[in-house]
Amino acid sequence: MSPVVLFDAALALGVLGCAALALTLRDRTGTVAAFMLTGLLVALSWLRLGAPDVALAEAAIGAGLTGALFLRGARRLGPLRARPPAPAQAAAAALGAAVLSAALLWAFATAPAESLYPPRVAAALEDSGVSNPVTAVLLNFRAWDTLLEIAVLVVALLLVMTLSPPRVIPDKLGALVQPFARIVVPVAVLVAGHLLWQGAEAPGGAFQAGAVLAGAGLALVLGGVRVDRRVLRRALTALALAGLAVFTLAALASQAVTGALLGYPDGQAKAWIIAIEGALTLSIAATLCLLFTGYGRRSAR
Amino acid sequence: MSLVATLLGTAMIAAGVGFLLFAALGLWRLPDTLSRLHALTKADTAGLALVALGAACLSDTPAALLPLGLCALLVAVSGATIGHLIARRLMRRPAA
Amino acid sequence: MMLEFLALGALLATLASLPRLILGPRPADRIAAAQLAGTGTIATIILLGAATGTPALYDMALVFAALAAVTGLAFVALGGRSS
């Protein structure tokens, strides 16, 4: 058997096994670790399926930051109490999973062999201002969808503001975190800038860059950076909301200039896209950091 | 690409993958948490550095050196720091 | 061909952290297993890039490496007592 087939088989089995572990382990840290491992393997699967953009997003958000957010939630919830689900509950879940699997199988079996979109995107790519088809779709042809996604992120942030879960005060991590942060944070900022810039012609873009930047921000927060908390929170909130504001203003401005919502003027598409993506990167990074640190006045202990 | 570079690169990658497999074995078989951290911080770092160095030998462009070198650096720094922090926490609060 | 076998080896090294993740017994053991799996994934991506001749994958490995420590840091800073 060829090594590629073996690789794909091991990967598929690994994803299923880790997902099962994430659901069945009776230990919160264990389930979070299994979930992270599932994310790593899913990113590898996207890579094998030829979707490096999705793989990057999964790597940055699924495997990196979600683990930290889940651990924060797990600490608030406390230890897991052993309580197996009721038989009716288990049966209903099994039925739902079976129906969903059957629907997916049916959709997979009846899907046309050729997708309709790639040729149309390829035909219009010339006018989009960028040469990466994924960025062209996300920020030019279907920029409207991306605008709504950013609005969803803002809604998540507003929910955290309203519910104000207790603030997390990280333990002091000691002297060794400083040299760590001095190396990792600058490199992460460099990587984020690289991802943002190369999003125009290769896999990358605002979401991935924002997630990497948020990772650097979390390393600073957890490492105990000395900044006034209230000032930091205000600055981050302003940044988080600025992304949606800039995107909306760009939509209105393009409406005024060209008469089409998010239809960029001829020849200037790339400049508009880079400006919007730059604002989005900072805004996504600030939002992810705030989702971790929270707004609550009470402290967690 | 010269034959020497190919052979050297493949040998280094093979050694690196061997280190990674041994790190996993060590994490599984070593008796207590503190000894398991050795597998995480040393074998692991050496394995990835060898893999990155081998891949750099195999690549046609010197431009690949930068991401590979940064990868090895970041993993070395992260592994060492996390290993130290976990060990520190275990020494202070053995129940964690 | 050789590189593809080595990529398979790196994937197996990633999956080989699972026994410790399942057994625990301490939360720190499970986080250490996840950290090891992260390194294994980075190696797998580098080897996939080398096997298929796509250096663009090295950038992706870099993203993983930049975020490798975030969960571990969060675990230690949050007290690690949620078991």
Residues of chain A with pLDDT under 70: 1, 82, 129, 139, 167-169, 261-262, 267, 296-301
Chain C residues with CB-CB distance to B48 below 8 A: 39, 42-43
Q: Does A177 touch chain B (CB under 8 A)?
A: yes
In the block, tokens 């800038």 appear at A193
Residue-by-residue DSSP string for C20-69:
HHHH-SSHHHHHHHHHHHHHHHHHHHHHHHHHHT-THHHHHHHHHHHTTT
- What are the pLDDT digits (tens) for B9-28? 899 999 999 999 999 998 88
How many Cβ pairs closer than 8 A exist between chain B and C?
Answer: 149
ipTM (interface pTM)? 0.92
With CB atoms and an 8 Å threshold, state whether C50 touches B55.
Answer: yes
Q: Distance of CA B8 to CAs A252, B48, B76, C9, Å? A: 58, 16, 22, 18
Pick the residue from chain C with its C-alpha nearest to A81: C83
Among C24, C41, C78, select the one facing A44 at the smallest CB separation.
C41
Of chain C residues 15-34, which have a CB less than 8 A from chain A? 15, 17-18, 21-22, 24, 27, 30-31, 33-34
Please tell me the distance from the alpha carbon of residue B14 to that of residue B26, in angstroms, as a whole number.
18
Among A36, A74, A211, select the one facing C34 at the smallest CB separation.
A36
Domain region containing B65: 3-92
Q: What is the mean pLDDT of chain B?
A: 87
Predicted pLDDT at A73: 84
- What are the pLDDT digits (tens) for C31-40? 899 999 999 9
Chain C residues with CB-CB distance to A78 below 8 A: 82
Residue-by-residue DSSP string for A237-272:
HHHHHHHHHHHHHHHHHHHHHHSSTT-PPTT-HHHH
How many domains is chain B built from? 1
Predicted pLDDT at C53: 81
Predicted pLDDT at A301: 45
Q: Does A175 touch chain B (CB under 8 A)?
A: no
- What are the pLDDT digits (tens) for A193-235? 888 888 777 777 788 888 899 988 888 888 777 777 778 888 8
Predicted pLDDT at A258: 75
Angstroms from C8 CA to nearest CA on chain B: 10
Helices A28-48 and C27-52, axial angle in degrees (round to 10): 10
Residue ranges of alpha helices (H) inside chain A are: 3-24, 28-48, 52-57, 66-77, 87-110, 117-124, 133-136, 143-163, 177-198, 206-222, 229-258, 269-293
